[in-house]
Chains A and B, each alone.
Chain A
């Protein structure tokens, strides 16, 4: 049973370009969470999605950032017109349901985005 798969592992973009980060959750998991880890900071929640629905996007910037989790295929975090401040590690996690009291998240290895 493969874990949470994120790709690419490293992504380099120039300012103004678009970045697309992919996350395939564990088999059977329908809940996906995206977190951002800035240098010297902790993990900040960005968005929580279920299949075809955004449940909570309270941590995602209103502009340039979007996320989707289609019925088929991976979840995508899209950053348009990237700026240097977007450079960070982006982690995806999945779970089989939202009852985290007795559940745990499974994390991917992350995508390191570097904006030149």
Chain B
């Protein structure tokens, strides 16, 4: 069945460091791909999305490119801030309407 695999965390970086969080997927067809972010004590919020191969989703300095050939959707940011500390989830929609999430990657940014 469809699935999403993320790199394990936690990821600890210093402020202004470069961030990559890996995400690979297994799916039938070419679904849209999403990154959600969960700040401490809150629900998930959509961070960015890509709807077809080679699309690049971007928001708040984060980017992710839909790579069909490697079935990947890695999240990147050139310079992280303390306020980016959160849990990041990669996700794709199943054909029954629900979102399938990866296990989440915790990012901690230190000043």
Give B79-111 interface residues, CB cut-off 8 Å to A: 89, 93, 96-104
On chain A, which size bracket covers the interface?
Answer: 20 to 34
Tell me if A100 and B97 are in contact (CB < 8 A): yes
Tell me if B97 and A107 are in contact (CB < 8 A): no
Contacts of B46 on A, CB cut-off 8 Å?
104-105
Contacts of B101 on A, CB cut-off 8 Å?
35, 42-45
Give A59-116 interface residues, CB cut-off 8 Å to B: 91, 93, 98, 100-102, 104-105, 107-110
Q: Mark A33-67, 1 if CB is under 8 A from B, else 0.
A: 10100000111110010000001100000000000
Tell me if B44 and A107 are in contact (CB < 8 A): yes
Q: Mark A4-20, 1 if CB is under 8 A from B, else 0.
A: 10100000000000000
Give the residue name and chain of the B residue nearest to A98 (CB): B97
Tell me if B98 and A33 are in contact (CB < 8 A): yes
B51 on interface, CB distance cutoff 8 Å: yes
Q: How far is the CA of A105 from the CA of B35 in the complex (A)?
A: 12
Contacts of A41 on B, CB cut-off 8 Å?
103-104
Contacts of A48 on B, CB cut-off 8 Å?
96-98
Contacts of A56 on B, CB cut-off 8 Å?
96-98
Chain B interface, number of residues (Cβ within 8 angstroms): 24
B62 to chain A, nearest CB (A): 16
A101 in contact with B102 given A108-B43, A109-B43 (CB within 8 Å): no
Chain B contact residues, CB within 8 Å of chain A? 6, 31-32, 34, 36, 41-46, 49, 51, 89, 93, 96-104
Q: List 17 A-B contacts (CB under 8 A).
A: A6-B43, A41-B103, A42-B103, A42-B104, A45-B99, A48-B96, A48-B98, A91-B43, A91-B44, A100-B93, A101-B93, A102-B32, A104-B46, A107-B45, A109-B41, A109-B43, A110-B43
